[in-house]
Amino acid sequence: MKNKLIMVALCGAYAFLFPACKKEGGAVTETLHPEKTTLNQARAADVGIQSILWDGDANLGTGIFKVLNVDAPATLAAVNNATYGKIWRFTKEIGSNRCEVHAAQGFDAVEGDDIYLGWRSQLSMSSTGLTTNALFQWKAYGANMTQNFPIVIKTIGGDFKLMHTASGGTSTYIWNGPVTLNNWNTFVVRIKVSRTATVGFIEFWFNGIKQTLLGGAQRYYGRTLDADYCDPKWGVYGASSELITNRVHGLKIASTYAEAAP
């Protein structure tokens, strides 16, 4: 009798605490209220929200790019890498001047955006001293163009060079670091997107370390939005007389460094 009273009390407490439960065939089952389920799903979705604005994963195919700028006999392929899995391989053959992708499908930067672009790259070419026009571009498109390529990463004289081009076409190297052929390097560029030179800025991380730029600061102010819009480009541009392979992995655009960093 005592045990029966305890069981009744426990069932009553359970029913009070969990009114959405009912007993069926000796087992307790849960009847969910649709509005509560929707709220819980929304909360779960909130927990999973990330600030990745565009994902350039090679497993997703070339549809993630707006345009393929691959001049024959150059080739672009998604290939398997022993360390990173599927990667993009840009092979700019002798006789081709360009093997690039114009990204990013589904993403368009606008005035005031604060974005981080991240990737890792393994560069193969005949000499560390070889000059390229670009391995990365923040490239302008449309009417009233005064900068053309506000931000570029290229190679020259054995160094990677980060370059800003101002309105009117004056280019300034704002960082350099040694080219290490056939090794993986990581890059993150932070861009405050603005047509106003005192508002727009660039910050840069190389191999996971935030870089002090050539002016002595870690932030370079300058105009970063030109013409109708600017888009990123990755690959190899220039040095048409040379075979250059640029293997690229971890392409992302995000609103935080942590999520852009490869």
- The structural domains of the chain, ordered by start, are 52-260 (2.60.120.200)
Does the pLDDT of residue 50 top 80, yes or no? no
pLDDT computed for residue 98 by the predictor: 98
Question: The tokens of 130 are what?
Answer: 């070889």
Residue 1 CB contacts under 8 Å (≥ 6 apart), including other chains: none
Does the pLDDT of residue 34 top 60, yes or no? no
Residues 50, 43: Cα–Cα separation, whole Å: 14
Q: Model pTM?
A: 0.82
- Label residue 167 by pLDDT band (50, 70, 90): very high
- Label residue 118 by pLDDT band (50, 70, 90): very high
Give the pLDDT mean for 197-208.
98
Cα distance from N-terminal residue to C-terminal residue, the chain: 66
- Label residue 254 by pLDDT band (50, 70, 90): very high
pLDDT computed for residue 22 by the predictor: 38
For tokens 């029966």, what's the residue?
4
What are the backbone dihedrals phi and psi of residue 186, each rounded to the nearest 5 degrees, phi first? -110, 145
pLDDT computed for residue 145 by the predictor: 98
- Label residue 31 by pLDDT band (50, 70, 90): very low
What percentage of the chain carries pLDDT values higher than 90?
81
Give the pLDDT mean for 147-159.
98
Does the pLDDT of residue 5 top 80, yes or no? no
pLDDT computed for residue 105 by the predictor: 98
What is the torsion angle, in degrees rounded to the nearest 10, for the CA atoms of residue 193, residue 228, residue 169 and residue 236?
80
Give the pLDDT mean for 110-139.
98
